[in-house]
């Protein structure tokens, strides 16, 4: 069966510090991968998606970047965090064409102080 | 552009039935999905409707009317553990091969004893 893991689960970072969130998927090949962000009590905002190794599409201009160095690995990064980067970050995967189902990782709570 | 509307909050009592509505506007349509998210957790997939009608999965059912651009999630025999946020979602029609989903803002369901 397929599983998705992301880490760290929680982190508190000072403004201006770097960020690296990592996500890996197991049990499937060539998945579509996504990074979403959710502000407290709000909906899900798509940040990046990737349909293959090295292929990254950004949905919104921001202080973050994403990379996919391996087929089942997706990394979210920042060189200098802003207070507004605080939120709940979710990695997700899907395979097509199997409908509208995407599967989320456990999420990472980021607080920038 | 694409948009989804759903009520922000719904309250119901244990054992009751509750319906969460979702209306959507999209230039193309590949079906409507529903996700559940408990406080502090990641969203999990509940159901998917590609065609008109009712899909039943245990206590949860989901309905779609494509002519009305409308769907709903029906929760029966409510339990306290059903207290969560519920999101409807559609695939971004402008990126049909990427599996990108557009989410509604979510409906917070509070189940009271």
- What's the pLDDT tens digit per position in B36-81? 999 989 999 999 998 999 999 899 999 999 999 999 999 999 999 9
How confident is the model at residue B99, as a pLDDT? 74
Q: Answer whether B97 sits within 8 Å of A46, measured CB to CB.
A: no
Residues in A 21-50 with any Cβ partner in B closer than 8 A = 32, 34, 42-44, 46, 49
How close does chain A come to B13, measured CA to CA in Å?
A: 22
Of A49, A99, A101, the CB nearest to B98: A49
Of B50, B99, B106, the CB nearest to A102: B99
How confident is the model at residue A2, as a pLDDT? 86
How close does chain A come to B34, measured CA to CA in Å?
A: 9
How confident is the model at residue A86, as a pLDDT? 93
B101 vs A107, more confident: A107
What averages of pLDDT result for each successive group of 10 residues across chain A (113 residues)? 93 97 93 90 87 89 90 96 94 75 93 96
Contact A43, B103 (CB under 8 A): yes
CA torsion sign, A44 to A46 to A51 to A54?
negative
CA A85 – CA A37 distance, rounded (Å) = 9
Q: Answer whether B89 sits within 8 Å of A32, measured CB to CB.
A: no
How confident is the model at residue A71, as a pLDDT? 95
CA A66 – CA A57 distance, rounded (Å) = 9
Contact B26, B93 (CB under 8 A): yes
How confident is the model at residue B76, as a pLDDT? 97
How confident is the model at residue B59, as a pLDDT? 96
How confident is the model at residue A100, as a pLDDT? 65
């Amino acid at each position: 069966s397929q599983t998705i893991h992301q880490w760290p689960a929680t982190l508190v970072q000072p403004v201006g510090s770097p960020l690296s969130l990592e996500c890996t998927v197991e049990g499937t090949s060539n998945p579509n991968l996504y990074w979403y962000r959710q502000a407290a009590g709000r909906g899900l905002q798509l940040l990046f998606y990737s349909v293959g190794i090295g292929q990254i599409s950004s949905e919104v201009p921001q202080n973050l970047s994403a990379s996919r160095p391996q087929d089942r690995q997706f990394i979210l990064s920042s060189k200098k965090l802003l207070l507004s980067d605080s939120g709940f970050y979710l990695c997700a995967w899907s395979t097509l064409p199997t409908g509208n189902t995407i599967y989320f990782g456990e999420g990472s709570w980021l607080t920038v102080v | 552009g694409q948009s989804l509307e759903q009520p922000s909050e719904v309250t119901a009592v244990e054992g009751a039935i509750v319906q969460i509505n979702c209306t959507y506007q999209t230039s193309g349509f590949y079906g409507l999905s529903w996700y559940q998210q408990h406080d502090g957790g990641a969203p999990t997939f509940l159901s998917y409707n590609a065609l008109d009608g009712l899909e039943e999965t245990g206590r949860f059912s989901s309905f779609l009317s494509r002519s009305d651009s409308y769907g709903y999630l029906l929760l029966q025999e409510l339990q306290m553990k059903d207290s969560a946020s519920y999101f409807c979602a559609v695939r971004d029609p402008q990126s049909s091969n990427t599996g990108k989903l557009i989410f509604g803002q979510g409906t917070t369901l509070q189940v009271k004893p």
